[in-house]
């Protein structure tokens, strides 16, 4: 057992539900942390006596597919409705990232590492929302707290999810707890070279063999900022120059279409994992203001900018509040 917490069997009495199985689901356009988080959370809740099922709001992206295959895990069923269901959320707490009929189901709990969003409930919740680099970091601590065993393959996938969200600890969102948890997961999963696994995973993440629309939506979220609605996507690659001028032009076309769907501005952050910086692309009337706020240079390069959650969204929310 981890030295982080030692509460085996704490609060193990499951919530009674007539709407079984209870869903465990991540956000729209799911990333590795979201899908693996749902699988890990389902293992946790099953260990506590819940009748649960991990589900997802989209198919796995290339990186996630690599992780699931490597650790012999099945991709969760894709769903679009939670009407009449009880459910737990993993890796988000915003209505915009939830199914459209969110209010027709019943929220039982949240595990997240983002800011508190606008979801609400009609009864008390079990909430674990911590300022760490990955939801799977929290889920590892929860397994220890509740005394639930982690299978080797799920531990390996959780390790990958943390490496993904923290860019192998290069992101400003990474914390000492993330590193400690990764070390513990590596022992369970029998992973000897953590960094080599991370780079193997990032090569899979860098797969651009998809439509421009799918690439834009691979990790895309909408944000309400004052009176504006701004969509922000992030494409993480081992080299940002993998995006050719031809692909860039097609991405801009898709950004224009996304703007016409009711957004004021659409932002795409192309992150170079190895160079530790990002190239900014913006479509909309606030392009110049957004670039200035984010400190982009004349070539729209943002040195040291790796995290949408910590380095992109907060300054823009302050700007447009």
CB 68 within 8 A of CB 90: no
CATH of domain 212-320: 3.10.310.20
Structure tokens at 34: 């979201």
What pLDDT does residue 2 have?
47
The string of pLDDT tens digits covering residues 10-19 is 555 556 677 7
The predicted pLDDT at position 10 comes to: 52
Domain extents in the chain:
22-200, 212-320
The C-alpha atoms of residue 315 and residue 296 are separated, in whole angstroms, by 13
Question: Measuring CA to CA, which residue among 123, 106, 150, 81 is closest to residue 18?
Answer: 106
Report the alpha-carbon distance of residue 103 to residue 122 in Å, rounded: 10
Structure pTM? 0.87
CATH number for 22-200 (one of 3.90.1640.10, 3.40.50.620, 3.10.180.10, 3.30.530.20): it is 3.90.1640.10
Q: What is the pLDDT of residues 175-225, one digit of tens each?
A: 999 999 999 999 999 999 999 999 999 999 999 999 999 999 999 999 999
Low-confidence ranges of the chain (pLDDT < 50): 1-6, 9
């Amino acid at each position: 057992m981890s030295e982080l917490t030692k509460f085996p069997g704490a609060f193990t009495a499951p919530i009674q539900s007539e709407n079984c199985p209870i869903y465990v689901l991540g956000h729209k356009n799911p990333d590795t942390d979201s899908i693996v988080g749902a699988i890990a959370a389902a293992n946790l809740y099953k260990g506590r006596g819940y009748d649960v099922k991990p589900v997802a709001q989209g198919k796995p992206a290339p990186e996630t597919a690599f992780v699931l295959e490597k650790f012999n895990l099945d991709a969760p069923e894709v769903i679009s409705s939670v009407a009449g269901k009880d459910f737990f959320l993993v890796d988000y707490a915003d209505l915009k990232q939830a199914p459209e009929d969110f209010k027709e189901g019943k929220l039982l709990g949240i595990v997240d590492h983002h800011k508190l969003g606008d979801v609400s409930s009609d009864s008390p919740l079990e909430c674990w929302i911590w300022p760490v680099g990955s939801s799977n970091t929290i889920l590892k601590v929860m397994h220890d707290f509740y005394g639930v065993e982690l299978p080797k393959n799920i531990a390996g996938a959780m390790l990958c999810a943390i490496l993904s969200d923290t860019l192998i600890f290069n992101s400003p969102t990474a914390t000492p707890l993330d590193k400690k948890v990764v070390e513990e997961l590596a022992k369970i999963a029998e992973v000897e070279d953590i960094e080599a696994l991370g780079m193997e995973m990032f090569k899979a993440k860098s797969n651009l063999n998809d439509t421009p629309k799918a690439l834009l939506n691979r990790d895309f979220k909408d944000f309400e900022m004052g009176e504006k609605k701004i969509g922000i996507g992030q494409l993480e690659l081992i080299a940002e120059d993998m995006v050719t001028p031809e692909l860039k032009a097609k991405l801009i076309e898709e950004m224009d279409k996304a703007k016409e769907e009711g957004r004021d501005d659409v932002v795409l952050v192309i992150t170079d994992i190895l160079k530790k910086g990002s190239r900014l692309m913006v479509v909309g009337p606030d392009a110049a203001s957004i670039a200035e706020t984010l400190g982009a240079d004349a070539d729209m390069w943002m040195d040291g900018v790796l995290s949408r959650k910590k380095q992109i969204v907060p300054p823009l929310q302050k700007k447009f509040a």
